[in-house]
A and B are shown apart, each in its own frame.
Chain A
């Protein structure tokens, strides 16, 4: 396999403009003749489908929810970055670029990140024109806040629902095209496989989630924007339906999977309350502006009520370890600090898996009214979930899986190594390196969909000169049969354990052995245990219901089956990356608890190639060459 990143030549700042000029065009009259399948209707997929249709392409859009508006992008709270420098505080494309590269622990591609920073500016203009109600100042201009430890205020936001508002903007643009008949929408339709003809991605096989019908769709190109794979850990801040199926099926059809081990663990989530738990809820990072993170100094105090623990007996962990950043230390670092104290047995709450986030000082300093004004909705949400009043007692928080930086490998054109297969948003690996900064995923998803793919896809059409197969060609029939056989097999096992039970077990393995801290031993344990669990799954899973029907157990079972394979790949990637970087923390590679990168040997993208069932995948590398930035050590002490 050849990984050609196709990064244009020339100075960093001019690459994208030059490249845009070099890209071949399709004449307006001819665009109509090209059909594009877009799987996923989130920020990335929704914006891409709408824009491609506006340009004149014939688009089919797929999502598993009952409406495209419900893609999990809707859940993003904090905001979206853009180098507008509206605040006149020294921001620029160059600075956003640098912060993002550094935040990613120097494991992202320079050219991609620079382009991202460049187009960030247009995203805001686009969204404002669509009617996204970003927060404004009294003078009527757009407001910004600083987010995720950035030293400039470049984050645009819409209350605590930025993702929702951007999502609705994209959804409305998409709806307009659906109304005009240029996009055909397929909600409640799950992509179960990719179809490759003569080495080019040419279509997908889907299951109608209401009737159970399995059918094929052929096109001139396939765009995957299926989001992240967080639920491989079972519990995460993702939606319960988020899955790896789209990208993993493509992987099995020859697309390279890059850096699967890079996963982001968010420090401020509501802790698990019991085995019944189905998902974890994020409490906005902004809480750390006023909340202080602590645990008791002594194990014996952990069961006591927090108010009865004297000041001297409290350990304000982040303030102690990172005096200059204190409670605002970056996500990966704060998460690990919490895990460390819980591992020492000093955690609080059920199972000892939690630390306090205390607002007592802030309430004394600013008054409860001020705190209510700033965080009222979050305190309400906390109370709904835990039944506890955070004005009176400290919140309990614990880290949870939140975002996956890994994804299908793509070149500068967002095309995978399989020609005709484009991958956008969280589903690709491209821009965040080993760690994503707050407010940059929304930016990336929209950059990909509104401003990058619409240019690059035309070039593929103009230069590849492919023909479009029919959806009843032999290859499609064959894949349909495979998919149907798999469904049938899942239903026929009739064993003793539900898919959820397997998912929970896999999640436990992943979280404990491949979560916030990973070691050779823990990863090797997983590489042994996951195949065993998978074997057990295929022997004794119980999938109730029928194939020709709305069957949520079956849907879940299919996703868990893919997670059971993908989890192994993730652990393998983590094992072979013998360094610590961003969200990937190998205990063997640290310096006083901090990540220790190995730039000599690991300044590269690891992209895995499927070799066939039962065979170990092959690890390829794409070297990361930094022309503009100097790789430094991230320090937040």
Chain B
């Protein structure tokens, strides 16, 4: 049995949205390299609870990198900096005995802190509600093979559709811009014939909502792409910019 690691955690603690928060320091002892990052936090929390302290609140659900719930900034990097990896999939063998880790919530005006590391990402939902869909009702749709879609387009659409809506792109961007998230949806739907029908309307509405939520603009730094656990690329942003320009030029 390998000997566990001892780590120092500097964690953002904040009681609720209204309270001011601050950093607290905890020792994580005997951490197994086989633990996931969140399992390490589970163990620290067990210890806190038994000492009568309040456990650190953090979001997670699937713990396999697909639901997009987990969200923390580790040592200044959203999801901790391992390529294409969410915090729940990051394992402790990536750290070394004696390391000090800072753990913070996503920081953005449009993602207010709810408690400790938990933030409110409902702004993402509202952006989708503003236009991130194809307006079809249930039933009455044509046969699945009625409209052929080139494999290339369908693969590109899938690349974009893989977005898990975790918000790491916003957390990493110095402008807290949601362009990667929004453009992934605009691209996914706009690349398919089923979604093209509403593309002008969609891009204008989604961008309008994105702005209303208080996200910043893109300055093409590439931070979002670098931390994205699903490796969504800046190409999508370019595509959205083009679609926006076309829609605007049409006077929509």
Residue picked from A179, A380, A450, most chain B C-beta under 10 Å: A179
Residues of A within 8 A of B189 (CB): 131
Query: B39 in the interface, Cβ–Cβ < 8 Å?
Result: yes
- The stretch of A70-78, A334-342, A480-488, A568-576 in contact with B is A70-78
Cβ-defined partner of A274 (8 Å) among B16, B34, B85, B157: B34
- Mark each residue of chain A from 123 to 165: 1 if its CB lies under 8 Å from any CB of chain B, else 0: 0111111110111111111100000000000000011010011
Q: Cβ of B61 < 8 Å from any Cβ of A?
A: yes
Query: Do B114 and A210 touch (CB < 8 A)?
Result: yes
Among A70, A75, A171, the residue within 8 A (CB) of B64 is A75
In the complex, whether A302 has a CB less than 8 A from a CB of chain B is no
Q: Is the CB of A273 within 8 A of B138?
A: no
CB distance from B79 to the nearest CB of A (A): 12
Q: Is B130 an interface residue (CB 8 A)?
A: yes
Given contacts A161-B162, A276-B35, contact A131 B144 (CB under 8 A): no
Q: Is A582 an interface residue (CB 8 A)?
A: no
On whether the beta carbons of A553 and B49 are closer than 8 Å, the reply is yes
Q: How far is the CA of A7 from the CA of B152 in the complex (A)?
A: 46
Instruction: For the complex, give the distance between the alpha carbons of A176 and B128 in Å.
Output: 8
Pair A550/B122 contact, Cβ less than 8 Å: no
From residue A623, how far is it (CB to closest CB) to chain B in Å? 34
Q: From A274, A281, A387, give the contact of B93 (CB < 8 A).
A: A387
Verify if B69 is at the interface (C-beta below 8 Å from A). yes
A272-286 residues at the B interface, CB under 8 angstroms: 273-274, 276-279, 281-282
User: Are A550 and B57 in contact, with the CB atoms below 8 A?
Assistant: yes
Q: Contact: A72 with B122, CB < 8 Å? A: no
A323 within 8 Å of B (CB atoms): no
Q: Which residues of B contact A387 (CB under 8 A)?
A: 33-34, 91, 93
Contact of B138 among A51, A138, A544 (CB under 8 A): A51
- Residue pair B67, A74 in contact (C-beta under 8 Å): yes
Cβ B66 vs Cβ A164 within 8 A: yes
Determine whether B75 belongs to the interface, using a CB cutoff of 8 Å to chain A. Answer: no
- 10 A-B Cβ contacts within 8 A? A54-B138, A67-B125, A135-B154, A173-B133, A176-B133, A239-B63, A240-B62, A276-B43, A384-B85, A500-B46
Q: Does A473 have its Cβ within 8 Å of any Cβ on chain B?
A: no
- Are the C-beta atoms of A172 and B162 separated by less than 8 Å? no
A451-B91 CB under 8 A given contacts A159-B158, A165-B161, A553-B55: no
Most B C-beta atoms less than 10 A away, residue of A173, A176, A237: A176
**B81 proximal to A (CB < 8 A):** no
Taken residue by residue from 489 to 507, chain A's Cβ proximity to chain B (1 for < 8 Å, 0 otherwise) reads as: 0000000101011000000
Is the beta-carbon distance between B141 and A129 smaller than 8 angstroms? yes
A residues 159-202 in Cβ contact with B at 8 Å: 159, 161, 164-165, 168, 171-173, 175-176, 178-179, 185, 187
Could you say which residues of chain A place their CB within 8 Å of the CB of B241? none
Knowing A175-B128, A239-B67, say if A140 contacts B57 (CB, 8 Å): no
Distance (whole angstroms) from the CB of A4 to the closest CB of chain B = 28
Given contacts A276-B35, A276-B43, A550-B16, contact A187 B158 (CB under 8 A): no
- Of A176, A274, A278, A552, the residue contacting B129 (CB under 8 A) is A176
Give A273 to B91 CA distance when docked, in angstroms.
Answer: 12
Chain B residue nearest to A69 in the complex (CB): B165
Chain A residues near B154 (CB-CB < 8 A): 133-136
B178–chain A nearest beta-carbon distance, Å: 14
Asked if A598 is at the interface of the complex by the 8 Å CB criterion, the answer is no
A185 and B126 alpha carbons, distance in the complex (Å): 11
User: Is B251 part of the binding interface, using a Cβ–Cβ cutoff of 8 Å?
Assistant: no
Considering only residues 137-178 of chain B, those with a C-beta below 8 Å from chain A are 137-139, 141-145, 147-151, 154, 157-158, 161-162, 164-165
Most buried by A among B16, B48, B128, B188: B128
**Contact B61 A129, beta carbon cutoff 8 Å:** no
Q: Known contacts being A67-B122, A136-B149, is A54 close to B137, with CB within 8 Å? A: yes
Q: How far is the CA of A13 from the CA of B219 in the complex (A)?
A: 59
Min C-beta distance of A236 to chain B, whole Å: 11
Taken together as a complex, chains A and B put the C-alpha atoms of A276 and B31 apart, in Å, by 9
A385: nearest chain-B partner, CB-CB: B91
Name the A residues within 8 Å of B129 (CB-CB). 175-176, 178-179
Give the distance in Å from the alpha carbon of A624 to the alpha carbon of B82 in the complex: 52
Q: Could you tell me if B142 and A129 are in contact, using CB atoms closer than 8 angstroms?
A: yes
Task: Determine the residue in chain B with the shortest Cβ distance to A173.
Answer: B133
B49 and A133 contact, CB distance less than 8 A: no
A545 lies within 8 A of chain B by Cβ: yes
By beta carbon, the residue of chain B nearest A73 is B67
Cβ of A279: which chain B residues have Cβ within 8 Å of it?
A: 62-64
Does the CB pair B144–A128 fall under 8 Å? yes
Q: How far is the CB of A446 from chain B (nearest CB, A)?
A: 10
Per-position contact with A for B43-59: 1 when CB-CB < 8 Å, else 0?
10110111011110101
Interface string of B16-30 (1 = CB under 8 A from A): 100000000000000
Q: Does A65 contact B (CB under 8 A)?
A: yes
Residues B142 and A125 in contact, CB atoms below 8 Å apart: yes
Q: Which residues of A lie under 8 Å from residue B192 when comparing CB positions? A: 131, 133
Known contacts A86-B145, A240-B61: A131-B188 contact under CB 8 Å: yes
- Assess the B145–A142 pair: CB atoms within 8 A: yes
Among A164, A175, A241, A381, contact of B125 (Cβ-Cβ < 8 Å)? A175
B162 to chain A, nearest CB (A): 6
Known: A133-B157, A176-B135, A550-B115. A140 touches B42 (CB 8 A): no
Q: How far is the CA of A220 from the CA of B209 in the complex (A)?
A: 34
Which residues of B are found within 8 Å of A140, using beta-carbon distances?
148-151
B124 contacts partner chain A, Cβ-Cβ < 8 Å? yes
Q: How far is the CA of A130 from the CA of B85 in the complex (A)?
A: 28
Contacts of A239 in B (CB 8 A): 61-63, 67
B73 CB–A CB distance under 8 Å? no
From A136, A172, A277, give the contact of B134 (CB < 8 A): A172
> What CA separation (Å) do A161 and B161 show in the bound complex?
10
- Cβ distance B248 to chain A, nearest Cβ, rounded Å: 22
Determine which of B62, B138, B195 lies in contact with A72 in the assembled complex, contact meaning CB atoms within 8 Å: B62
Which residues on A sit within 8 Å (CB–CB) of B145? 86, 141-142
Return the 7 tightest CB-CB contacts between A and B, nearest first: A140-B148, A179-B129, A172-B133, A129-B141, A273-B34, A133-B158, A544-B49
Q: Which of B55, B157, B188 contacts A552 (CB 8 A)?
A: B55
Complex CA–CA separation, A606 to B187 (angstroms): 49
CB nearest neighbor in B for A281: B64
18 new A-B contacts at CB < 8 Å, known A70-B68, A274-B32: A70-B62, A70-B165, A72-B61, A84-B144, A122-B139, A126-B141, A128-B141, A129-B141, A134-B144, A136-B151, A142-B144, A178-B125, A239-B61, A276-B34, A276-B40, A276-B43, A381-B89, A550-B115
* Distance of A451 from chain B, by nearest CB (Å): 7
CA distance A86 to B148 in the complex (A): 13
Contacts of A384 in B (CB 8 A): 82, 85, 89-91
The answer to whether A65 and B194 touch (CB under 8 A), given A158-B158, A176-B133, A544-B52, is no
* Residues 214-244 (chain A) with a chain B CB within 8 angstroms: 237, 239-241
Q: Does B99 contact A (CB under 8 A)?
A: no
Q: Does A532 contact B (CB under 8 A)?
A: no
Interface string of B169-209 (1 = CB under 8 A from A): 00000000000000000001100101100000000000000
A142 CA to B35 CA, complexed, in Å: 40
Task: Give the residues in chain B near A129, CB-CB below 8 Å.
Answer: 134, 136, 141-142, 194
Q: Is A628 part of the binding interface, using a Cβ–Cβ cutoff of 8 Å? A: no
**Are B50 and A498 in contact, with the CB atoms below 8 A?**
yes
**CB of A603, distance to nearest CB on chain B (Å):** 35
Q: Does A313 contact B (CB under 8 A)?
A: no
Chain A proximity of B121: nearest CB distance (Å): 6
A111 surroundings in chain B (CB, below 8 A): none
The reply to whether the CB of A66 lies closer than 8 angstroms to some CB of chain B is: yes
Cα of A621 to Cα of B69 in the assembled complex, Å:
41
Is A549 engaged at the interface, CB distance under 8 Å to the other chain? yes
A357 within 8 A of B: no
Instruction: Give chain B residues whose Cβ lies under 8 Å from the Cβ of A282.
Output: 64
